[in-house]
Amino acid sequence: MRRIYAAWLILLLHLPGVWCMSEQRREELRVETASLFKHGYEGYMKYAYPADELRPLSCGPLHRDPDPNNIGINDIHANVSMTLLDVLSSLPLIHPSAFPKAVQLVAEKVSFDQDVKVQVFELTIRALGALLSTYQTLDDLPDDPSEQFTALGLSDEGSLLSWSKKSTVDVKQYKGRILELAHDLGKRLLPAFDTITGIPYARVNLKYGVLKGESIETCTAGAGSLLLEFALLSRLTNDDRFERLAHSAYLALWNRRSAQNLLGNTIGTHGHWLAPGMSGVGAGMDSFFEYGVKAGVMLDDDTYNDIFYDSYAAIQTYIRTNDGFIYRPIQTRLLQPANPSTIDSLSAFLPAMQVLAGDVVSAIKSHLVFWNLWRKHDAMPESWLWQERKTEWTGYPGRPEFIESTYYLYQATKDPFYLRVGEKILSDLKKRTKTKCGFATLKNVMTGEQEDRMESFMLSESLKYLYLLFADTPFPNSNTVFTTEGHPLRMPKDLLKAPSTPRRAMRKGENPTCPVYRFVTVGSTIPSQGIIVGIEGREDYDYARSLIYGWDATGVDIEDGRRIWYDGGICKVPSEPKFAFEIVLSPLNVTDPTAVPPEDPSPGPSKVEQDLATGDYVISDIEGLRLGVRWRFDGRGYDVANIGPHRIRQGQNVIVQDPAMRGHLPIPSTPPVDSHSPPELLLRFISYPASTAFVNIPSSGTQGQILLHAVGATATFGIDFVPISTKDSASSSSLWRIGVRPIRLIIPPKVDNQSYQGCAIKSSEYLGINHELTDSFVLVVSRGGCTFLEKLEVAKKIGAIGVLVVGHAPLAEGEPVPPEGQGFEEGLIRPSAEFEESHPKNQAVRDVGMIYTEWVIGEVLRRIVEEENKLVAIEILSIDADAGARAESDYHKDDSSWKGREKNEGLLMVGQWPIMNLRVIDRYGGKPP
């Protein structure tokens, strides 16, 4: 049972310019971001090059530290102009005039023949990734220098070209040298893999290899995040050592996972997990998961897909808190949260990875936690004690992970909320980190104290992802990804490995189940499907705020003062269904109901066989089978993910046809859930010009202005506010339900300063109804004067299809409660009738609906109508982010998802959720074979 807390419920008054961001403003932000990028790049080139980094406060170079223990500096500084290398792949996009000279400098000046000890992971993601990405950019350019000039978007005014002939640039001449540098660097990293397990050393000397006495300790992310760069290097150079070793290292880590599919944070090259034995998604582990999903995309290899989704199921089952928002470290053996328990800035990469994996719902939630952390501190602190709501490590070196996730979520949803998030990030970076020659690290996000260092990822990732966000640059196409350092890499089609025949058969029927995101436009008749409301209109938006700020009003006020916030709502503590578990199919043994047959570790075709035509799996013998079950990303329930070693992919079904279960069949088709209205709905109010005709909306093309969103409580009688089905769509103009077009609100005028209570029939003239402009309408009435049922009866006689009841004004401080006390409860109530459901009076109003909302909503709407001479309409949205995705299958048995099922087939249930791809059929029809 969910606990209910009194909290601040957000009512967003969307005045012009608040809800959406204009194209002009977005373009201004793109240009401003490009200007900041150029500022940082030019500052580095002027004051620091050829050093690896810039000192942005003193405007000088930052070199290696003579103290070998200062790995924070020395792991990255290889005396190779690291900042120039790291930004190389970003220059064609953001600062193209600097690209030719930068490529020339790298090709002619950079050498990896350096007597320095560096980190394998950092050199791979920053230098090797940049070189490979730049090689592919050069390879894509035309051969003709003048055409290269045009393709790069160069101008003769560029001051950094340094070419003798303007309007031409033969930058492609350096393509071979760039790949040669990449190959040379790769070979210098290979000695790190000379271990008995294949798990590489964390550090290597670029000239002499692994030094004597080198530490065997490495982290999961460092050893397991080499796949993308090493695989592409192997295939471009026809040197298979790199991909083979990176693949072996990745599998060496995965093969040492716990029974729960959890990995530790730190491991030795000998293959043993090291203390303290923690698992999570933050520092030391983050990019292992990222490279699993991205290797599956870039290499089109199900090995990595399978590992990723197994590891992700473990994350969602053990790392994620029950509310679905926090991903905290846990002990791998005891499966208990760490104490103290932190979330760190590196784990802000998670929403981006979740978008790529298809779990958009989870991505939205995890991103909201980091969004509130950012807006509380105007930056992202390195670590946060989430239970105590206290900052642990106050630094911020300009990390990109949160910005990257914002970009991915905007691409997935197109919700302008993420543009506004980016706008604040850009403003804060400019105000708090910009110096006269670059961008400083924040030593303390609370005091604003700066540190004299600019890490290369500030340019190569942070400002780059902001630029991509405002430029609305879409995701790369298939087989293309951004590395963990933001370098785009693409596996050419001719270098992809062709899938085997069994693998092609295995993948038949794939159909991603990630939810559809629909940002519903005014006048839309699209039925409710997927995630249908803006992020700030979600009920859990305020819950995420409370995780960072607490349950009081702190953090409610934001920069835009034109929004209305109202104290008096409720905030539910979310609770996520269990993500992954196993089930055992077995006929009931009446002598021992708890008996479970021993597992068959390798079931053969006599038990499980795949139908190669459909891709489905047929179980003929259930004895000893274990079925792994996982939550679907579209929120409709569960899917079987594996039958022992057999992988079940999205879109493939599992059909049980075991005659041993004959006595336990048929399993009836799962009935639709109780179709009565959800207790609360999200109401969207839209204003229109006074002359608007509502008869043909939305076909008239008239666009309204979104005013606000509010929560309403449905009556326990009257119409069921469920999503319309396909069969209802033709007559939707007479329905008031989720997903129906905007319906006009009729707000009768006040008489003697008293609002119309809806207890007596009034004329069309009094109500202000023009039937030439309005076919259907919802009547606004105030509480009191008569029963809720009587109000609905009167509204039906007037011709309304629904009633919006507005509560009484809140009592002033010190004002006594009236003797009767009715109508002055805080928050929402559900209108109810005193009669039984079957009573004739209830039956008479089954085709009209009633929703209750609070006084402040009515006042805002009345002001719009009376003071601004506007018409107002109402739309109903589901307050449950997952409800839309389930709507048709839950509420309408005649939906296509119910069609074509066998007579004796049904869905098995786990609590209230079905296992969507599991079918149990009695092939003998209940008769002996």
870-878 and 743-746 strand pairing: antiparallel
727 and 806 co-located in one domain: yes
The reply to whether 607 falls in a domain is yes
The reply to whether 402 falls in a domain is no
656 and 746 co-located in one domain: no
722 and 863 co-located in one domain: yes
The reply to whether 46 falls in a domain is no
Judge whether 194 counts as a catalytic residue: no
Q: Which of 659, 627, 677 is nearest to 908 (CA)?
A: 627
Maximum Cα–Cα distance across the chain: 95
777-782 and 743-746 strand pairing: parallel
The reply to whether 680 falls in a domain is yes
Q: What is the pLDDT of residue 834?
A: 62
Judge whether 382 counts as a catalytic residue: yes
Please list, in sequence order, all residues whose beta carbon lies within 8 angstroms of the beta carbon of residue 525, skipping any fewer than 6 positions away.
698, 729, 732, 739, 740, 741
Which of 52, 53, 382, 793 is flagged as catalytic? Answer: 382
What sign has the CA pseudo-torsion 556, 562, 563, 566? positive
Helix (H), strand (E) at residue 63 = none
830 and 727 co-located in one domain: yes
Predicted confidence (pLDDT) per residue in 378-429, tens digit: 999 999 999 999 999 999 999 999 999 999 999 998 899 999 999 999 999 9
Positions of E strands within 52-208: 53-55, 60-62, 117-119, 203-205
Residue with tokens 């397991």: 224
Domain that holds residue 625: 580-667+904-920
CATH code of the domain covering residue 714: 3.50.30.30
Predicted confidence (pLDDT) per residue in 527-583, tens digit: 445 565 578 777 688 889 989 998 766 765 543 333 333 333 445 678 888 999 998
639 and 737 co-located in one domain: no
Task: Identify the DSSP state of 754.
Answer: B
Helices and strands (H, E) in the chain, number of each type: 27, 35
- Please, which residues bridge with residue 489 across strands? 481
Crossing angle, helix 417-433 and helix 401-413, to 10 degrees? 160
The reply to whether 82 falls in a domain is no
60-62 and 913-914 strand pairing: unpaired
Q: Which two tokens stand for residue 169?
A: 């640039």
Global pTM value: 0.78
DSSP string, 658-706: -GGGGGG-PPPPPPPPP-SPPSEEEEEEEEEETT---SSTTTT----EE
Q: Which of 328, 454, 341 is nearest to 392 (CA)?
A: 341
The reply to whether 548 falls in a domain is no
Q: Which two tokens stand for residue 630?
A: 């996982």
With a cut of 50, list the residues of the chain below it in pLDDT. Answer: 1-18, 158-164, 520-528, 558-570, 590, 665-666, 668-675, 699-701, 726-732, 819-824, 836, 881-905, 924-929
The reply to whether 734 falls in a domain is yes
719 and 829 co-located in one domain: yes
Judge whether 815 counts as a catalytic residue: no
710 and 762 co-located in one domain: yes
SS3 letters across 761-773: CCCHHHHCCCCCC
726 and 762 co-located in one domain: yes
The reply to whether 590 falls in a domain is yes
756 and 624 co-located in one domain: no
604: number of Cβ within 10 Å: 9
Judge whether 859 counts as a catalytic residue: no
Which of 290, 359, 378, 401 is flagged as catalytic? Answer: 401
Q: What does the angle CA 492 – CA 181 – CA 42 come to, to the nearest 5 degrees? A: 95
Q: What is the pLDDT of residue 921?
A: 73
* The total number of structural domains that make up the chain: 2
Q: What does the angle CA 357 – CA 363 – CA 368 come to, to the nearest 5 degrees? A: 165
Q: What is the pLDDT of residue 344?
A: 96
Which of 286, 404, 455, 485 is flagged as catalytic? Answer: 286
659 and 725 co-located in one domain: no
Specify the 3-state DSSP secondary structure of 640. strand
User: Do you find a cis peptide bond into 601, omega within 30 degrees of 0?
Assistant: no
Please list, in sequence order, all residues whose beta carbon lies within 8 angstroms of the beta carbon of residue 704, skipping any fewer than 6 positions away.
522, 523, 686, 687, 688, 692, 742, 873
Q: Which two tokens stand for residue 248?
A: 């072996």
Q: List the binding residues for Ca(2+).
A: 484
707 and 796 co-located in one domain: yes
Q: Find the radius of gyration of the CA atoms of the chain.
A: 31
Task: Identify the DSSP state of 796.
Answer: H
Q: 414 — alpha (psi -120 to 50), left (phi > 0) or beta? A: left
Q: Which of 218, 222, 223, 220 is nearest to 268 (CA)?
A: 218
Give CA–CA dist 728/713, Å, rounded.
Answer: 23
Q: What does the angle CA 710 – CA 871 – CA 771 come to, to the nearest 5 degrees? A: 120
Crossing angle, helix 350-357 and helix 401-413, to 10 degrees? 30
Residue with tokens 């009236």: 818
Which of 53, 75, 122, 888 is flagged as catalytic? Answer: 122
Q: List the binding residues.
A: 484
Q: What is the pLDDT of residue 870?
A: 85
| Helix, strand, coil percent content, the chain, rounded in steps of 5 | 35, 15, 50
Specify the 3-state DSSP secondary structure of 6. strand
748 and 698 co-located in one domain: yes
- 564 by Cβ neighbours in 10 Å (0-12 / 13-18 / 19+) ranks as middle
Give CA–CA dist 173/187, Å, rounded.
Answer: 23
Give CA–CA dist 64/76, Å, rounded.
Answer: 9
Q: What is the pLDDT of residue 514?
A: 67
Q: Which two tokens stand for residue 441?
A: 């690290």
Q: Which two tokens stand for residue 602?
A: 């390798």
777-782 and 802-806 strand pairing: parallel
